[in-house]
A and B are shown apart, each in its own frame.
Chain A
Amino acid sequence: MSHAAIHDQHDDHHGAPKGFFQRWCMSTNHKDIGTLYLIFALTMFFIGGSFAMVIRAELFKPGLQLVQPYFFNEMTTLHALVMIFGAIMPAFVGLGNWMIPLMIGAPDMALPRMNNLSFWILPFAFVLLLSTLFLPGGGPAGGWTMYPPLALQSGSLAYVVFAIHLMGISSIMGAINIIATILNMRAPGMDLLKMPVFVWSWLITAFLLIAVMPVLAGAVTMLLTDKYFGTSFFNPGGGGDPVLYQHIFWFFGHPEVYIMILPAFGIISEVIPTFARKPIFGYKAMVFAIASIAFLSFIVWAHHMFAVGLPLGADIFFMYATMLIAVPTGVKVFNWVSTMWGGSMTFETPMLFAIAFVILFTIGGFSGLMLALVPADFQYQDSYFVVAHFHYVLVTGALFAIISATYYWLPKWTGRMYNEFWGKVHFWNSVVWVNVLFFPMHFLGLAGMPRRIPDYNVAFANFNMISSIGGFLFGASQLIFLGVLIHCVFFSKKKAGERAWEGAKGLEWTVPSPAPHHTFDVPPIIHDEELAHGNVNA
């Protein structure tokens, strides 16, 4: 089945189209579309980040100094929506677009035109979403979870719902494309169990996307009809139930959380073996752990709802199911540590971010385990402890993995090496300030500070100020990242070889750097020792 793929006949096989519009807007090339996704994600990262700066500035000290509470709520809501749907998810899709065909020896994605469509929907979705800030009535302010009845009070609900529909369509098409590519376009000899862990993680993630994005679309459509068409899905006055929305939303929402972390697991499983110069420990266990986490993600949704007053039996079931996730996640962490053990390690920027990922994501996992214990969750729920938890898994987890992947594959994309010194400056600033930013939030939550509040009692002042200082400096540190990227793409003189890293294995390192516009027109001959995980059956 994995014979050389049928090529897009309309493509010029000898290089990228010359015209800007032709090349970028009409592209069917997985590398160019991957680049578009990554640039889009970076842009959204800075927009969402600027919202976070507003939040941290208002929370710098007690009392309202800068913004009205409603605007504060718009900021928290849009920060989440932009970061989740605009930054983290498109960044992973961009990395998948760029790297999956290169890693499995395919000439392009299976459905190149749909690939173009699924990207170009996104800018329109976000224009729709962010335009609400400039419209009368303002943007969404009921939280990214859009719980009714509160969300139904918002005048911008229709904009948000349509924006989410568009994002969902984009994600589903992207997921279909990735599954079709991985299952049909692997080079002969690239068996499923020889694929890089990153490709595995994306294959599983894509199934999660297809399973849950329609559920989200259904939930928000019900909000829309409740508000504008007189239905009562969530209106108790008409026989509906507000909690029903939460069940539907989190049935999407929890797999969504893993959509944002499984590709990160894949990235880390590529980076650590490269810089430890040692094959990944327990390849099959790694793949199986990802699959079991994905399965468990469908049966734990109500752990986001322990405070809504579920029946005792439901609380117990969801607590046990949630705790189970610690086992495969633990296996992954132990395997990463074992991969390092006995290696020959160097600490270039991608490796530094990967190591920080393992440590800090694990801290996020620890607080996740604590949150799973229902009686304790009765205290943690909706407090800053939760804010600390999900920022540890999403910022020092998902985001750090994306940054690690960017440094790791940047030489392959650009043909140039980034500046290692400034990469390390970026790393050390990020890792220090991100902890100053998020660690004190644990204390705030334990002391009783609720989340999503614009102002607080003076008892919470010290840690909020520390957190805000960390936030400003973490935000500023990302400008270093931008500088390193711009320097690498446009100015770096240091050429990267085919195999940009000494210990790098896998098909993507067998093509020139920068990767030419078309690669693997002829399927590569697979040599097991060339693969990152070639000898798993040995």
Chain B
Amino acid sequence: MAWATLALASFGSAAQAAPGPWQLNMQRGASTWSPVPYHLNNISLGVCVVIGVLVFGAMFIAMFRFRKSRGAVAEKWSHNTTLEIVWTTIPVIILIVLAYLATGGLTSWADTTGSQMTVKITGYQWKWRYDYISYLGKPIDKVGFMSKLDSQSDQTRQLGSGMDPYAVKVGTENTYLLNVDKPLVVPVDTKIRFLITGGDVIHSWWVPALGWKLDAIPGIVNVAWTNITTPGTYRGQCAELCGQDHGFMPIVVVAKSKADFAKWLAAQETQSAAPAAAPAAAPAAASTAAAPQTAQIAVAPANGKQG
């Protein structure tokens, strides 16, 4: 129980976007929706702690009061209809409250209408591909790239590399296994719709600061949305076992102000328009035969290529 109390005490602490050492609780996140799971987590944990204190408290009292060594004599009763009705009814009421809260949050999550931007995300063994489909009602042509584990993490993570994971840093932040060569760049204060699919096996796109994860499944295009409120760098990882390097395909989302994003997008478009700078989508790791060889935007669901 002490741990749970400690976890409760940490509710008030400032929410950070990256995981921290000794972090006890879920982060509040950085999108308009991410407080939903955070609050549900806290409320349901609180409910559980209260019930736990009552039930375990009763147990411990029983264990001390009704010990044979204290001369306790066993009573004979084995029913109490009133009590049984009470402890069936009260949980039902608690559950209805929780279900009400969860249903509201879920419904808002499922509403992807009114988005101002669309990005297609494709999971591959073992990297992500981001294709920018449209922004503010205008289609975006040929902005898309692979995003894979940064080389410093990649060298360090080899078995017997002798390199120190604590030395993998960007500024003061340790980014071991949480950094990529090319992050997904998005604007803040924009409802962004993600189309998520898989190119070979099932992956799952999870950035805790956005509050959700969604599987990237070959043959299926899943839809989700986010609206990031604070500029910053948000890190996540693949959350569905996808083979040997499942642990090594992180996700990095960089949220910029709308003006900065417009500049970044213009630069990308110019780059992909100029043939000289074409190898934008380096067909990175040689191990993935299924990875597309061009930077073309594939809107149709990727065909599941299976071994």
Flag if A374 contacts B19 (CB, 8 Å).
no
- If the complex has contacts A236-B219, A307-B239, A342-B66, are A460 and B19 also in contact, measured as CB distance less than 8 A? yes
The residue in chain B whose Cβ has the minimal distance to the Cβ of A289 is B88
B113 to chain A, nearest CB (A): 13
A-facing mask of B39-83, CB < 8 A → 1, else 0?
011001100100110011011001100111100111111111001
- Inter-chain contact B176/A62, CB cutoff 8 Å: yes
**When chains A and B are docked, how far (Å) is the Cα of A63 from the Cα of B158?**
8
Residue B9 is within 8 A (CB to CB) of chain A in the complex:
no
Contact across chains for A278 and B74 when beta carbons are under 8 A apart: yes
Kindly report which residue of chain B lies nearest to residue A312, judged by CB atoms: B110
Q: Is the CB of A355 within 8 A of B59?
A: yes
Cross-chain contact A379 with B212 (CB below 8 angstroms):
yes
* A449 is an interface residue with CB less than 8 A from chain B: yes
> Interface code B223-235, partner A: CB below 8 Å = 1, 0 otherwise?
1100000000000
> Could you tell me the dominant secondary structure of chain A's interface residues?
helix
Are A376 and B40 in contact, CB atoms less than 8 angstroms apart?
yes
Residue numbers in A under 8 Å from B95 (CB-CB) = 323-324, 326-327
User: Judging by beta carbons under 8 Å apart, are B77 and A342 in contact?
Assistant: yes
Among A149, A241, A370, find the residue whose CB has the most chain B CB atoms closer than 10 A.
A149
A149 neighbours in B (Cβ, 8 Å): 200-202, 218, 304, 306-307
Let me know if A319 and B106 touch, CB within 8 A: yes
Distance between Cα atoms of A451 and B247 in the complex (Å): 9
Q: Is B202 within 8 A of A150, CB to CB?
A: yes
Tell whether, in the assembled complex, residue A457 and residue B174 are in contact, meaning their CB atoms are under 8 Å apart.
Answer: yes
Whether A375 and B105, one on each chain, are in contact in the complex, defined by CB atoms closer than 8 angstroms, is yes
Report if A341 contacts B (CB, 8 A). yes
Contact partner, B19, options A243, A280, A285, A448, Cβ 8 Å: A448
The interface residues of chain B lying within 8 Å CB-to-CB of A337 are 55, 58-59, 62
Within B229-258, which residues are at the interface with A (CB < 8 Å)? 236-248
Closest to A63 in B: B165
Report if A242 contacts B (CB, 8 A).
yes
A367 to B204, CA, bound (A): 22
The answer to whether the Cβ of A421 comes within 8 Å of any Cβ in the partner chain is no
A488–B235 CA distance with the chains assembled, in angstroms: 54
Instruction: Tell me if A459 and B44 are in contact (CB < 8 A).
Output: no
Q: Which A residues touch B178, using CB under 8 A?
A: 457
Q: Which residue of B lies closest to A278 (CB)?
A: B74
A355/B74 in contact, CB under 8 A: no
B141-180 residues with Cβ-Cβ distance < 8 A to A are 156-161, 163-166, 174-178
A334 touches B37 (CB 8 A): no
A281 at the interface (CB under 8 A from B): yes
Docked Cα-Cα span, A412 to B302, in Å, equals 62
Q: How large is the interface on A (under 10, 10 to 19, 20 to 34, 35 or more residues)?
A: 35 or more
Looking at B96-104, B261-269, B274-282, the stretch in contact with chain A turns out to be B96-104
Q: Does B187 contact A (CB under 8 A)?
A: no
List the A side residues contacting B223 at CB < 8 Å.
309
* Chain A contacts for B218, CB-based, 8 A: 149, 236-237, 242
Whether B37 and A378, one on each chain, are in contact in the complex, defined by CB atoms closer than 8 angstroms, is yes
Q: Is the CB of A341 within 8 A of B66?
A: yes
Instruction: Please tell me if the beta carbons of B59 and A345 are within 8 angstroms of each other in the complex.
Output: no
Closest A residue by C-beta to B105: A375
- Shortest CB distance A346–B (Å): 5
Which positions 229-280 of chain A face chain B at CB distance < 8 Å? 235-237, 240-243, 276-280
B residues near A, CB below 8 A? 3, 7, 18-27, 36-37, 40-41, 44-45, 48, 51-52, 55-56, 58-59, 62-63, 66-69, 72-80, 83-84, 87-88, 91-92, 95, 98-99, 101-103, 105-107, 109-110, 156-161, 163-166, 174-178, 196, 200-202, 204, 206, 208, 211-215, 217-220, 222-224, 236-248, 301, 303-307
Closest 10 CB pairs of A and B: A236-B219, A453-B247, A309-B222, A378-B212, A366-B48, A342-B75, A447-B23, A375-B105, A62-B165, A344-B74
Residue pairs across A and B with Cβ atoms less than 8 A apart, 23 shown, are A64-B158, A152-B307, A236-B301, A237-B305, A241-B219, A278-B74, A280-B78, A307-B204, A307-B213, A307-B240, A308-B217, A331-B87, A340-B62, A342-B77, A366-B52, A367-B48, A446-B26, A448-B27, A450-B237, A450-B239, A453-B237, A453-B247, A457-B177
